[in-house]
Amino acid sequence: MFTFDIITIFPKIFDSYLKESLIARAQKKKLIKINIHNLRKWTKDKHQTVDDRPFGGGLGMVMKAEPIYRAVSTLKKRKAKSEKRKIILFTPRGKKFNQKTAYQLSKLNHLILICGRYEGIDERIAKHIADLELSIGDYDLMGGELPAMITIESIARLIPGVLGKKELLKERITKEKGFIEYPQYTRPELFKKWRVPKVLLSGNHKEIENWRKKYQKSIGK
């Protein structure tokens, strides 16, 4: 079973996402396990403080290193030493997440995902705790919860049995240049003035496959 441990200060954000569609089914089939952890559980003051003012000044608050360190330490103790695990910190400065990274991470069986908030996270977490810093794009978000969901879904669909059909993975995990998908059409054949390409109606599987490969090759240039 592949285990995802998510550290966040807004655990309820994940409620509806985890209870729907294939993610919910994969959990029920015990193919994946997703644990949501409220970071405030690892604070020691009565206000459950997880952030503080940045040294040197700045526009916002910074998440403290101590609670995150305690949370990660606790979660690491719960798992066997033989597990293939990585600790991921989501940050705009991180490595760009792509299909190749998803495939590499799917070969593990335990991920601890740290969701930042506010102006950022104490840099000591990135330097001494996280194994990998990830970004889902060149833009700012309000926190790491959405990147965590994207990461979970991208990896989960690569785990055998989650999608149900191995054929659905074939094109996605063998592309060295990244994720490329060919256009898809369904009924009706003619909608308004927009017609389905004739080759897809031919019944000639070889020609259809060549058409798809030609499209993928043109996009991948």
- Residue-level pLDDT at 174: 46
Instruction: For tokens 């590499």, name the residue.
Output: 104
- Residue-level pLDDT at 176: 44
Instruction: List beta partners, residue 191.
Output: 194
Q: Where are the beta strands (DSSP E) in the chain?
A: 2-8, 32-38, 51-52, 62-63, 85-96, 110-114, 120-121, 132-135, 190-191, 194-195
Identify which of 165, 138, 132 has the alpha carbon closest to the alpha carbon of residue 151.
132
> Alpha-carbon distance 23 to 211, whole Å?
33
Print pLDDT tens along the chain (221 aa).
Answer: 999 999 999 999 999 999 999 999 999 999 999 999 999 999 999 999 999 999 998 889 999 999 999 999 999 987 666 689 999 999 999 999 999 999 999 999 999 999 999 989 999 999 999 999 999 999 999 999 999 999 999 999 999 999 976 655 654 544 444 556 789 999 999 999 999 999 999 999 999 999 998 887 777 65
How distant, in Å, are the alpha carbons of 2, 20, 138, 159 from that of 82?
A: 14, 31, 35, 19
Domains of the chain: 2-156 (3.40.1280.10), 180-220 (1.10.1270.20)
Amino acid at 167: E
- Residue-level pLDDT at 58: 83
- Residue-level pLDDT at 168: 58
